[in-house]
């Protein structure tokens, strides 16, 4: 007598465990990442996980996947911010001068400075941060 096994029976035999228990997961999490936390940070994570009805490790994985990280400033961006601070200082001095000497004498300088400030702000906003 010849016994022919169906494809599904073969598949079932692969995951058969003679000891019983749950079947093996398709994707195993074998890599670990150690993170040091303060007691406050740990309490916060555990509380949020409990509120979500999750284990802290699952909550942490999901939070890491959805997190939006803002990159640090590049050296050229830091230079632009210093330039912007200098322009703001100049604008403050021009405002002081306008109150002292009158508005018409300072109007052209203020318009030029505002244009420069707008250019720097556009450069900072266009970066892929």
pLDDT digits (tens, 9 = 90+) for 78-126: 888 888 888 888 888 887 777 777 776 677 777 778 888 888 878 777 6
Integer Cα distance of 42 and 36 in angstroms: 9
Residue 57 located in a structural domain: yes
Residue 50 located in a structural domain: yes
| Number of domains making up the chain | 2
Residue 102 located in a structural domain: yes
Same domain (yes/no): 85, 104: yes
Residue 101 located in a structural domain: yes
Residue 110 located in a structural domain: yes
The residue out of 69, 93, 114 marking a domain boundary is 69
- Neighbouring C-alpha atoms within 13 Å toward the C-beta of 19: 4
Same domain (yes/no): 119, 91: yes
Residue 32 located in a structural domain: no
Q: What is residue 70's three-state secondary structure? A: coil
Q: What is the pLDDT of residues 25-74, one digit of tens each?
A: 888 888 888 989 999 999 999 999 999 999 999 999 999 999 887 777 78
Same domain (yes/no): 86, 103: yes
Residue 14 located in a structural domain: no
Same domain (yes/no): 102, 80: yes
Q: Is the pTM of this model over 0.75?
A: no
In order of 64, 78, 84, the CA distances from 75 in angstroms are 27, 5, 14
State which residues form the domain around 89. 75-126
Q: Is 36 left (phi over 0), alpha (psi -120 to 50) or beta?
A: beta
């Amino acid at each position: 007598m010849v016994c022919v096994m169906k494809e599904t029976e073969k598949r079932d035999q692969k995951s058969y465990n003679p000891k019983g228990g749950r079947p093996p997961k398709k994707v195993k999490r074998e890599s670990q990442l150690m993170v040091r936390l303060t007691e406050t940070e740990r309490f916060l994570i555990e509380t949020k996980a409990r509120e979500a009805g999750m284990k802290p490790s699952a909550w942490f994985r999901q939070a890491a996947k959805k997190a939006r990280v803002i990159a640090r400033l590049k050296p050229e961006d830091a230079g632009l911010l210093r330039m912007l601070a200098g322009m703001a200082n100049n604008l403050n001095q021009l405002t002081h001068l306008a109150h002292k000497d009158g508005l018409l004498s300072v109007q052209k300088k203020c318009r030029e400075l505002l244009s420069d400030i707008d250019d720097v702000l556009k450069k900072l906003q266009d970066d892929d941060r």
